[in-house]
Amino acid sequence: MASESARAAGTDYPWREFLAAWVRNPARMGAVAPSSPWLSARLAMVAPTQGSPVVVELGPGTGAVSELVSRRLPESARHLAVELDPAMARYLATAHPGVEVINGDAAKLGALLAERDVRSVDAVISGLPWSLFDRETQRAILGQVVTAIGETGVFATFAYPGGMPLPSARRFRATLHETFDEVVVTRTVWRNLPPAFCYLCRRPKVAGI
């Protein structure tokens, strides 16, 4: 649940944080706005609601998805979020005190989790701008995800239909199919800026890529 200080800043505060992050480093920001409640809800659906699950977010930004993931998770769960931008990580930690925020690089996910004694992950939810990454970066991060979720976890991320003509976007989709036995492409969420769809991936074909 968002803290009182975050609420007091007003409902537009996440937007201001998001825009500030874009100004600091536009090359790292693949979106023009935080995920809408409808896209966030679709991504959050992979978070387990029972037991003691571990859910990791990559590139959580202002926490649009984090809020809905936290609502789904049972009290015994662990909810971690890896955010590269230091200012965004500080905001996320304040706005979502129940989330274990890690200011770090998703390409080093395995080491970041090991430092916190996390041995397995039930779900990884990514808000990273995959179409902005080169092939090596895409494969490096996916390799970390595969190791984290093992044979039973799920990986969820999203992309924009308008960006699919980009070679990097097509390459990412092909890499997902090379990496996972199951890649589900959801219907487009039109109530998002811009419209987006989700990839839901399970059962890695190999231990790492």
pLDDT digits (tens, 9 = 90+) for 21-45: 444 454 454 455 789 999 999 999 9
pLDDT of residue 208: 52
Residues 40, 68: contact at Cβ < 8 Å?
A: yes
Torsions phi, psi for 18 (to 5 deg)? -60, -50
Residues 105, 84: contact at Cβ < 8 Å?
A: yes
133: pLDDT strictly greater than 90: yes
Percentage with pLDDT > 90 across the chain: 79
16: pLDDT strictly greater than 90: no
Percentage with pLDDT > 70 across the chain: 83
Residue 169 tokens read as: 């976007």
Task: Verify cis geometry, omega within 30 degrees of 0, for the bond prior to 194.
Answer: yes
pLDDT of residue 7: 38
For the entire predicted model, the pTM comes to: 0.86
> Whole-angstrom Cα distance, residue 108 to residue 118?
14
Give the residue extent of every domain in the chain: 4-204
146: pLDDT strictly greater than 80: yes
pLDDT of residue 33: 76
Outline where the chain has alpha helix (H).
4-8, 13-24, 37-44, 64-72, 86-95, 109-115, 135-149, 167-179
Residues 196, 202, 203, CA angle at the centre, nearest 5°?
155
Given the candidates 3.40.50.800, 3.40.50.150, 3.40.50.12160, 3.30.465.10, the CATH classification of the domain at 4-204 is: 3.40.50.150
pLDDT of residue 75: 96
- DSSP-derived letter for residue 35 is P
> Whole-angstrom Cα distance, residue 74 to residue 55?
11
Cβ-based neighbours of 33, under 8 Å, separated by 6 or more: 15, 18, 193
pLDDT of residue 207: 60
Residues 111, 121: contact at Cβ < 8 Å?
A: no
19: pLDDT strictly greater than 90: no
